[in-house]
Amino acid sequence: MDSRFVLPKQPNVFSALAAGFKTLGNHLYLLIFPLALDLFLLFAPRYTVSSLVTSFLAQLNPLAEGSEELKQLWAELSASLSTFFQSYSLSSALRSYPLGVPSLLSSRVFMENPYGKLPEIALSTGGNALIFLLLFGIVGAILGALNFYVCSLPTYKEAGKQDAKTKLKPIASLLLLPVLFWAALITIAIPVSLVVSGLSMLHPFLGLLAYFFAAMALISMFLPAIFAPHAVLMLNLNLWQSIRASIRLMRPYYSATSLFVILAVLVSYLTNLLWQSPGTDSPMIYIGIFGHALVSSALLIASIHYFLRVLELNQEHELAQQAPESSL
């Protein structure tokens, strides 16, 4: 059979996952970033905006002339938001997306640690709140890029041999990833939400159907690009080039990549049910923090193993395609 029409060999997903845990077992110092972040969130003062949100909601009151049912709905929504922001801290933004330091506590709202109630710094103006939010977001993006780079060192040996300038270039590119992520999310989410809401008003089933197909389309669109950070670091590309490279590299391995992502999400979700079970006021939260850091870091390292294996298989496939041509 003509080698040009032979599908490339698929990477072993389970080997990559096992390699991630094995690498972490031999380099436990890789846990330092997620452990440090969660311990900071557990003991640091909480930066709250509850008074600001409550005042804003009281002034907003868009349903002053509406029916009693709508007023009741608005009152319940306002009460829920006020309750949420009483416990929410802006320091949660230290966990940036999509590339960030794994954190168990960034998604939780809490007011106590095992030693008692946390101190609180109340931000009463929108300007102060925005400054702290941006500050935490920028620091989180930097920590996320550094954590990704450090986790790659035991697996991607070339990273440790680079000079300082070469090391800083991909890290700088990775800092733009959260900006691009949120810009793309907002750009796509707003029109999709409007379409889904409009169809839901016509019939709930149409809204559910639209939501399902929109979710499938977005997953199919973004899944091949999920390894863009890996391409930035290991192929020394800028952010736009890395997105294209990730899509090109992962397209022949779409099934294996889908399986890897599904298993990684499943392992993370199931173990998080255990890690999230202790309250933040219980000493058992330390076990949850350590377990979450262990699993999350291992899965991140496994993704690096998987990406490097895809690079190897892609090179082998290209050489196999060139061999018949050179023999002619």
Rounded CA gap, 222 and 245, in Å?
13
Rounded CA gap, 275 and 205, in Å?
36
Task: At 202, list the tokens.
Answer: 């016509």
Rounded CA gap, 49 and 133, in Å?
11
Task: At 32, list the tokens.
Answer: 């330092």
pTM of the model: 0.83
Residue 248 φ/ψ, nearest 5 degrees: -65, -40
**CB atoms inside a 10 Å sphere around CB 60:** 11
Residue 320 φ/ψ, nearest 5 degrees: -65, -35
User: Which has the closest alpha carbon to 148: 301, 302, 326, 319?
Assistant: 301
Rounded CA gap, 239 and 98, in Å?
13
3-class secondary-structure state, position 118: coil
Position 247 scores a pLDDT of 87
Give mean pLDDT in consecutive 10-residue pieces for the chain, a chain of 328 residues: 59 94 95 96 90 74 59 71 79 89 91 90 85 92 92 77 65 82 79 76 75 73 83 86 88 89 93 93 95 96 94 80 57
Helix axes 254-275 and 285-327, enclosed angle (nearest 10): 170
Task: At 303, list the tokens.
Answer: 């993704």
Please give the full DSSP string across 229-268, using - where no structure is assigned.
Answer: HHHHHHS---HHHHHHHHHHHHGGGHHHHHHHHHHHHHHH
Contact 88, 109 (CB under 8 A): yes
Cα four-point dihedral sign 85, 88, 89, 90: negative
Contact 103, 34 (CB under 8 A): yes
Cα 41 from chain centre: 18
Which residues, in sequence order, are bridge partners of residue 122?
48
**CB atoms inside a 10 Å sphere around CB 301:** 24
Rounded CA gap, 62 and 289, in Å?
42
Position 160 scores a pLDDT of 53
Rounded CA gap, 51 and 191, in Å?
32
User: Which has the closest alpha carbon to 137: 125, 129, 149?
Assistant: 129
Contact 314, 227 (CB under 8 A): no
Position 277 scores a pLDDT of 93
Position 6 scores a pLDDT of 56
Rounded CA gap, 136 and 72, in Å?
36
